[in-house]
Amino acid sequence: MALKAADLNVGDTYTECLVEDLKRTQIVQYAGASGDYNPLHTDEIFTVEVAKYPSVFAHGMLTMGMTGRMLTNYVGDGRLTKYGVRFTSQVWPGDTLNSTATVESVDDGLVDLKVETTNQDGSVVLSGYAQARVD
């Protein structure tokens, strides 16, 4: 179910809720699947007492992975040609994240999207771009 260039307009948006009340267990799942076992993400004692953060926090790549799900649901499977982000703020257990793709241009069979993921306070936690092939 790919997008059709003829149906797209600059400024169109697509939004998904990525996660409600992020659980520590999901962060553990991501550590196990990705292979990034940095204790900052799963070991509350280390993170609070040694690293001096208020609690464990999500891998940036978990937020990028969840945001990627929003993108592939929008543009279709196997359609992305580029996807890049900056991690602008940390994501904590308990956070609820929403992510939006906004059409910036449609040209030559490709759509360029602005991507932004925000938390329950409206703070931007991830900002970036994606490009995908359209019909």
Contact with other proteins (CB under 8 A): which of 15, 34, 120, 123? 34
Under DSSP, the state recorded for 15 is: E
Q: Is 64 in the site for other proteins (CB under 8 A)?
A: yes
Q: Is 87 in the site for other proteins (CB under 8 A)?
A: yes
What whole-number distance in Å separates Cα of residue 24 and Cα of residue 104? 35
Q: Is 115 in the site for other proteins (CB under 8 A)?
A: no
Radius of gyration of the chain (CA): 16
Contact with other proteins (CB under 8 A): which of 5, 8, 80, 110? 80
Q: Is 112 in the site for other proteins (CB under 8 A)?
A: no
**# residues contacting other proteins (CB under 8 A):** 51
**Phi, psi angles (nearest 5°) of residue 118:** -125, 160
Strand, helix or coil at 57? coil
**Phi, psi angles (nearest 5°) of residue 82:** -150, 145
Residue 52 makes CB contacts below 8 A (sequence gap 6+) with: none
Q: Residue 133 corresponds to which tokens in the numbers above?
A: 């092939």
Q: Which is nearer to other proteins, 11 or 115 (CB)?
A: 115
Contact with other proteins (CB under 8 A): which of 6, 9, 11, 45? 45
Binding site for other proteins (CB under 8 A): 2, 18-19, 26, 29-30, 32-40, 42-43, 45-47, 49-54, 59-62, 64-66, 68-69, 71-73, 76-87, 90
